[in-house]
Amino acid sequence: MDVMSSMRVSSSGMSANRLRMNTISSNIANINTTRTPEGGPYRRKDVVFEAIPDAKNFGEVLNKEQSKIARVQVTDVHVDRGAPIAKYEPHHPDADENGYVYYPNINLMEEMANMIQATRAYEANATAMKAAKGMAATALEIGR
């Protein structure tokens, strides 16, 4: 694997985890949102990652060693279709005729754990990118 391939793989991981962090932030920010433009409470979102071969051109696709290397790509943002949480709050403006208000089915502790995981994955990819950059700089120093 050349240095540029490792940089492409690391940058794809950083991009994917940045989108995951944005999605988690949206979930946390909307944990009490009972009204959306689509109607009803906010729906929790999750990012779906997929491993794809890191190949720029057809020649790299045919190279056996190169085809083992995979970068990550976000393929979908899944919207949770689970039932919202009903709470009895008859004086709330969004209460139904029975006095229930429907809140998003979001577990704050789960979102915080996901946020820590996304942060660590982003940091690991940034460290790998920095190492690849250092290797490239060292290789250029050899030529002096």
- Reduced to 3 states (helix: H, G, I; strand: E, B; else coil), residue 137 is helix
Provide the angle, in degrees to the nearest 10, between the axes of the packed helices 3-29 and 108-142.
160
Question: Any idea where the domains of the chain sit in the sequence?
Answer: 3-142
How far from chain centre, in Å, is Cα 45? 10
Q: Residues 95-142: pLDDT tens digits?
A: 999 999 999 999 999 999 999 999 999 999 999 999 999 988 888 888
Q: What's the whole-number mean pLDDT along residues 74-97? A: 94
On the question of pLDDT at 61 being above 60, the answer is no
The answer to whether the beta carbons of residues 4 and 126 sit under 8 Å apart is no
